[in-house]
Structure 1
Amino acid sequence: MNAINTSKPMKRFNISVSILSVSIAILALYLLSTAFYSDTQIDNYYQDNGNFYRVETTFNLPNGEKVRSAKSPLPLIDELKKDERIDRVDYIFKLNTTIELQGRKITKVPVFAVSHEFLNTLSPFKKADNTLGANEIYITKDFNNQYLGLEDPKGKSIILDNETYIIKDILERRHDSSLNMDAIISFKPNLIKDYNREIFNWYDTHAYVFIKFTDKNTTFDKNTLLKNIIATKASNLPGAPFTASEFIHLSLKKLKDIHYQDKLPDEIAIGLSKEVIYSSYIAFAFILFSALTNYYNLTSADSSEKRDIYQLKKALGASTFNIIYDSLPTMLVRMVFSTLIFLLLIITIFNTSLYIKNLFYTLETNTLIYLGIFSILIAFILISLIHCSFSLRFYIYQKNRKMDMRYESTFSAWFRKSSLAIQLLVSGISIYLVTGLANQYIHLVDVYTP
């Protein structure tokens, strides 16, 4: 029969490309679900986070240029605290410090001085005592490995800008927080150079300011509040061709959106721009669609080639269910091989792509495993539906045919085999192109990954 006489190399190529198509489909499903779940979970663990905002600053220069910053002027903090519509104000100062330890001096070490209530509301760490003494410091393992190199850092002292600090504990950063902070201390005015002068300086940025509005006041224009503060509290520069309101513009960004990067030069949150994130969804969805389309074409070609076998089984009394059931072991074996290739692909991408590595870092290990199982299950359901659709199509064809089709002409057999060869060629080229596109896209994203 024609199905039996099909060349073995073509069959092997068909099977290989089918397995690769399913592997890429699982990979696309996994990356798509991981990216979406990460995007929805990051910075979403704070209580009542819909009322939390970060204040950002834009300076409108006389020449028309704009200087943007994730930080705000220092005097804004006290003015915000006075407003009854604001429930709380938290802030972070990024300090480039000098650490002295065991006769070594390490310069330009980033340490973050936080407000006293910061750990109660915005802590980026999993577990931490909410009280932090004036000369105590929290660090992470990464900070210790990079700067200190202590075997057991907890309880030991370090000199930070000529002041002695005790390492209170080693903390672990939350995976679902975008705040990139590896060492924090409690804020003190003497940490800021010329603090008594800077407290009146509206024309520079000093701190990352976070505010939470009261629950009962959510209808007023929040940006107007900031404009009024600048208009009434910020003094004009003598002789300047602009007013404070014209030069200083304050804006609000929701806390759960700070991982969307806006190319701010002093950003402390880890993330990507919305454009890159949403284009990732499109790219992964396109790869998934292409892989399933290839698999559909290959299954169509294989089903056409096995039509004579299906007809023989039908003539011997096999039901449509028997035909579907007989194909299940082959489908399961291919699924196992596809899963193994998927695992190999995801390990390779993780070790070569900074974007994928950062994406995985935002989720717990068990969550990544659950998403992997979910992706494999969805892929299995999709390919099962494809197989069932062809079996049902054969059943409908068998039921509605009006003449005996057990034999076909030489021309029909040649045409069917030629179609099979073309489908295999198109499928192989498509897989090659999609894989190349995915590789180039991930490389492009890595270039813009902070």
Structure 2
Amino acid sequence: MLKTFTSPKILSSITGMFSISLGTVLLGVMLVFMWSDHDINSQISETVFKIETQFNLPNGDHVKSSKAPAALLSKLREHPQVKSVGRVKSELVTTSYGTEEVKSADVLAMDESARKMLKLDNDGEFAMSSNGVYLSEPFAKKLTRSPRSLIGKRLKLNGLGLYQVEGIIKLDKRSSIRPDMIIAFSPTYDSVIKSQYDNWYDTHVDVFVDLKNKTPLNLNQIILENAPQIPGAPFTPESFIQLSQRPISQLHYDLNFSDALGLTFSKSSLYLIYGVCVFSFLLGFVGFVSSMISIQLSQVERIRTMLSIGGSYYQIILNALMERRIALLGGVVLSISIFNAGLFFLTEAFTFLSVLSTEVQWVMSVVMLICFVVVYVTVIALVVSQAIALQEGQSISRFSDLNMVHITKFIMMIQIVITTMVIFISVSVTYELLSVKQVDYGYDIKRTHYAKLNGRNDSKARYLRDRINAEQGQVSEATSWYPFDRSVSYASVSTAQQTMDEKIIQAKYFYAGPEIVNILGLTVLTQNHAVPVLREKDTSKRVFVIVTEAFSHLFANISAEKLIEHTFYTNLGDGVKEIQVVDVVSNFYLGKVKPSFEPIMIIIDETKANYLIVNDDATKVVLNDTTFISSLDARDEEYSDLSTIVIYLLFVIVLNIVLLLLNTMTNSLVEVERNRFSLSIMRQLGAGLKSICWYVFKNNILIYLGASGVGVLLGYAAISRKILALDGVQSGLSHYVMSLLVVAATIAFIISLSLVISRKQFLADLKE
């Protein structure tokens, strides 16, 4: 074992094989993600687009929705560029079949045009009756062991009614839309959507259009010609409503929509994966080149001898390749085995990769095989040919030795630049992820749990609240919001009279029962609590609200007590109403952490609450018919893609550091061997060991420090200049300092290792 790590040739061979294997495997991983990104939704025509909406609020905020206003439907059908318009509605329902019950099943209501456009069924189009339902194979297996036996049977979809199973469909693996069930759009939602045909200021349904060609629609012109101006509103329809059309090939990109349809994946995370894989491949490539050069430096005399006895250029190269044929075979087998084993875990971690077929995986393996062999043969041929070219016509090998050393040092510099840059970026992303998970969200997140209930049966939330509170005390409350819910609504709030035309601001709001403040563990900032008045009947039809402290900043930072005295007005969709602020509480985040707190109104109206929030230990909440979710789990789900990427990213970084260490050890041994004669003379002249090591490695240390500095600057530029834009990642001084410390520690360790190995090898040479 010791001989392995003190022999330049053996260590170079191990390092080279590790380098090329790591680079090839990560190249395969990148190709897998690229193929999945290209192949997903490829069964759908390129002329299909999805219409999405963004409302530009007067205060500068934006409300984004994957859906579109119902009023747009009739205008799209009349448009000369549109071939057909498809409507889709998605809901989570509890499904019952006999004694079996599945909660939160994803049911998709689609009209005929949408079914033809999206081609979800792998076997082609399917007809559907008004009360029929098609089940996906995975979902059908949750209800019974024999899915085909369900055909003709009736299922109960809570809130929707009874539906007869008309078939079991095999969803196309390439589709990003993967519902559990599919029902007809009409009559379940037809009348509801038609009732909103004059409403441009809300979103109602997922809209797909199949165009006659790829020419984009002028959606802004449609708004300009048809959307009505709200009397007194400080904005025009075209400035407030912003419609966009997303190509179907980009439907799977996560744009932070609260109501995104189907499977989504962050595009910035995808580019992060590409970047890491490319840099790791380059690092593996240059590491392999460096190792081969190190081997040739130890075989200079052998090459010179073969040339002197008439050995040809091709004979020497062929001889070098034949010597390493076992290593080539072993490297290929190792790389492909690791790739296929790793692909299993990657597919489990990233649902995005499930579009890959077995055939594609085999194709990727063949591509990796070809790539490995080509790189392996090419590098060896180039390195050996360079050594031969420098040897021909020279009586001594000093010149060729120097050229090889210069190439090795240059490659080492590239390795350090790449490694330090990737480390800098990775540590910043990891530090941000860990920081976000430690932040104070303003409420008792560690003890808060919630249950998503059937939104069509709002009384269930109050029933469960009363049941839990009767058994365990005041630990639960009904709400229309749950932690990290992206679908919280905005409302316009004004200090003016019914005209709503002065000081209009936007505030987020949700409905809840009066005990929500205690359940979330918020701090009440007012002296006199006005909540008891809610128990009395109020005939003025005022809206009673609890507001957060950030609400006061919208009105010249007035105090909490004065905020209660003010009169405000709002429109929640059913006319302008007076707001009665009954309490002011501490700020909290509804979802991910932002640079500042948003103003929040909690409207005290439990009749519109369809979720349940419980402040208690999960082990104490025992209800067989209700599934409670921890807020910590919801937070982790928000960052799940980034968390998974960070785990794999750190693993790759560790491998790259190991690779750099092996190359450092190899270069150190080669350096000692190359300078053995000079070092012996220095020793005989009385030079100390410290002076000898400094003589050998002073240039290397400068390379380490200079290259790592360049890598740090490149990493800083990639983050600060948003060259590498990551969703939800905000890097600051603390991130950069932490990254710099990790890079400094890594480089210091590498330099120390280089000196230690060189010292031991030099002392060992002296004893011989």
Into which bin does the TM-score normalised by the smaller protein fall? 0.7 to 0.9
- The whole-number CA distance in structure 2 between the counterparts of 1:84 and 1:135 is 33
- For residues 75-122 of structure 1, the C-alpha deviation after alignment (integer angstroms, 9 at most, x for no partner) is 322221122221111121112323221135544422000111323221
- The whole-number CA distance in structure 2 between the counterparts of 1:303 and 1:247 is 68
- Select 2:393's aligned residue among 397, 400, 418: 400
- The whole-number CA distance in structure 1 between the counterparts of 2:185 and 2:39 is 29
CA drift of 1:286 comes to 0.9
Tell me which moved more, 118-127 or 280-289: 118-127
- Select 2:204's aligned residue among 203, 206, 219: 206
In structure 2, relative to structure 1, the CA distance for the partners of 1:271 and 1:375 (3 Å cut) is farther
Do the aligned partners of 2:111 and 2:184 also contact (CA within 8 Å) in 1? yes
- Select 1:326's aligned residue among 319, 327, 331: 319
- Select 1:372's aligned residue among 351, 365, 369: 365
Do the aligned partners of 2:84 and 2:211 also contact (CA within 8 Å) in 1? yes
Tell me which moved more, 185-194 or 292-301: 185-194
- For residues 128-157 of structure 1, the C-alpha deviation after alignment (integer angstroms, 9 at most, x for no partner) is 343122222222233234x52442244133
Q: In the alignment, which residue of structure 2 is the partner of 1:124?
A: 120
- For residues 217-262 of structure 1, the C-alpha deviation after alignment (integer angstroms, 9 at most, x for no partner) is 93xx623xx2333334334445544444343221111122222221
Do the aligned partners of 1:14 and 1:424 also contact (CA within 8 Å) in 2? no
In structure 2, relative to structure 1, the CA distance for the partners of 1:341 and 1:422 (3 Å cut) is farther
AA matched with 2:217: K
Tell me which moved more, 187-196 or 267-276: 187-196
The answer to whether the aligner puts 1:160 opposite 2:157 as a matched pair is yes
Unaligned runs of 5+ in 2: 434-640, 646-726, 728-768
Tell which structure's C-alpha radius of gyration is larger.
2
In structure 2, relative to structure 1, the CA distance for the partners of 1:23 and 1:248 (3 Å cut) is same
In structure 2, relative to structure 1, the CA distance for the partners of 1:420 and 1:256 (3 Å cut) is closer
- Select 1:60's aligned residue among 44, 56, 59: 56
- The whole-number CA distance in structure 2 between the counterparts of 1:38 and 1:296 is 31
- Select 1:148's aligned residue among 140, 143, 168: 143
CA drift of 1:330 comes to 3.5
In structure 2, relative to structure 1, the CA distance for the partners of 1:149 and 1:332 (3 Å cut) is farther
- Select 2:86's aligned residue among 90, 104, 108: 90
Tell me which moved more, 28-37 or 379-388: 28-37
Tell me which moved more, 10-19 or 373-382: 10-19
The answer to whether the aligner puts 1:314 opposite 2:310 as a matched pair is no
- The whole-number CA distance in structure 2 between the counterparts of 1:442 and 1:23 is 26
- The whole-number CA distance in structure 2 between the counterparts of 1:40 and 1:438 is 26
In structure 2, relative to structure 1, the CA distance for the partners of 1:326 and 1:241 (3 Å cut) is same
Matches within 5 A, 1:287-366: 287-347=280-340, 349-350=342-343, 352-353=345-346, 357-366=350-359
TM-score normalised by the chain length of structure 1: 0.82
- The whole-number CA distance in structure 2 between the counterparts of 1:366 and 1:430 is 38
- The whole-number CA distance in structure 2 between the counterparts of 1:326 and 1:318 is 10
Aligned residues: 432
AA matched with 2:32: T
In structure 2, relative to structure 1, the CA distance for the partners of 1:242 and 1:421 (3 Å cut) is closer
In structure 2, relative to structure 1, the CA distance for the partners of 1:423 and 1:239 (3 Å cut) is closer
Do the aligned partners of 2:223 and 2:238 also contact (CA within 8 Å) in 1? yes
The answer to whether the aligner puts 1:172 opposite 2:170 as a matched pair is yes
In structure 2, relative to structure 1, the CA distance for the partners of 1:87 and 1:124 (3 Å cut) is same
Tell me which moved more, 340-349 or 205-214: 340-349
- Select 1:43's aligned residue among 29, 41, 44: 41
- The whole-number CA distance in structure 2 between the counterparts of 1:188 and 1:392 is 73
Do the aligned partners of 2:263 and 2:352 also contact (CA within 8 Å) in 1? no
The answer to whether the aligner puts 1:251 opposite 2:249 as a matched pair is no
- The whole-number CA distance in structure 2 between the counterparts of 1:184 and 1:83 is 28
- The whole-number CA distance in structure 1 between the counterparts of 2:360 and 2:429 is 22
SS of alignment partner, residue 63 of structure 2: strand
AA matched with 1:159: K
AA matched with 1:369: W
- The whole-number CA distance in structure 1 between the counterparts of 2:335 and 2:374 is 16
SS of alignment partner, residue 367 of structure 1: helix
- For residues 360-383 of structure 1, the C-alpha deviation after alignment (integer angstroms, 9 at most, x for no partner) is 322211112111211221121122
CA drift of 1:313 comes to 2.8
The answer to whether the aligner puts 1:447 opposite 2:443 as a matched pair is no
- The whole-number CA distance in structure 1 between the counterparts of 2:428 and 2:13 is 28
- The whole-number CA distance in structure 2 between the counterparts of 1:295 and 1:8 is 19
- For residues 342-368 of structure 1, the C-alpha deviation after alignment (integer angstroms, 9 at most, x for no partner) is 245335544554686435322211112
* Higher relative contact order (CA closer than 8 Å, sequence separation 6+): 1
SS of alignment partner, residue 390 of structure 2: helix
- The whole-number CA distance in structure 2 between the counterparts of 1:433 and 1:140 is 47
AA matched with 2:57: L
Q: In the alignment, which residue of structure 1 is the partner of 2:267?
A: 274
SS of alignment partner, residue 222 of structure 1: coil
CA drift of 1:9 comes to 4.1
- The whole-number CA distance in structure 1 between the counterparts of 2:90 and 2:154 is 21
Tell me which moved more, 429-438 or 25-34: 429-438
CA drift of 1:274 comes to 3.3
Q: In the alignment, which residue of structure 2 is the partner of 1:25?
A: 23
In structure 2, relative to structure 1, the CA distance for the partners of 1:125 and 1:74 (3 Å cut) is same
In structure 2, relative to structure 1, the CA distance for the partners of 1:422 and 1:244 (3 Å cut) is closer
- The whole-number CA distance in structure 2 between the counterparts of 1:66 and 1:7 is 60
AA matched with 1:294: G
- The whole-number CA distance in structure 2 between the counterparts of 1:108 and 1:97 is 5
CA drift of 1:158 comes to 1.2
CA drift of 1:436 comes to 7.3
AA matched with 2:339: I
In structure 2, relative to structure 1, the CA distance for the partners of 1:166 and 1:331 (3 Å cut) is farther
Q: In the alignment, which residue of structure 2 is the partner of 1:185?
A: 183
SS of alignment partner, residue 135 of structure 2: strand
In structure 2, relative to structure 1, the CA distance for the partners of 1:74 and 1:293 (3 Å cut) is same
Tell me which moved more, 82-91 or 230-239: 230-239
In structure 2, relative to structure 1, the CA distance for the partners of 1:434 and 1:143 (3 Å cut) is farther
Do the aligned partners of 1:294 and 1:430 also contact (CA within 8 Å) in 2? no
In structure 2, relative to structure 1, the CA distance for the partners of 1:327 and 1:173 (3 Å cut) is farther
SS of alignment partner, residue 301 of structure 1: helix
Q: In the alignment, which residue of structure 1 is the partner of 2:743?
A: none
- For residues 154-196 of structure 1, the C-alpha deviation after alignment (integer angstroms, 9 at most, x for no partner) is 4133122453323333333323322233321111143468455
In structure 2, relative to structure 1, the CA distance for the partners of 1:345 and 1:436 (3 Å cut) is farther
- The whole-number CA distance in structure 2 between the counterparts of 1:371 and 1:188 is 44
- The whole-number CA distance in structure 2 between the counterparts of 1:441 and 1:101 is 50
Q: In the alignment, which residue of structure 2 is the partner of 1:389?
A: 382
- The whole-number CA distance in structure 2 between the counterparts of 1:423 and 1:20 is 20
Matches within 5 A, 1:224-239: 226-237=219-230
CA drift of 1:427 comes to 11
Identity across the alignment (%): 20
The answer to whether the aligner puts 1:197 opposite 2:195 as a matched pair is yes
CA drift of 1:273 comes to 3.4
CA drift of 1:312 comes to 2.5
CA drift of 1:30 comes to 0.8
CA drift of 1:266 comes to 1.2
- Select 1:75's aligned residue among 67, 71, 76: 71
- Select 1:101's aligned residue among 90, 97, 100: 97
- The whole-number CA distance in structure 2 between the counterparts of 1:395 and 1:70 is 63
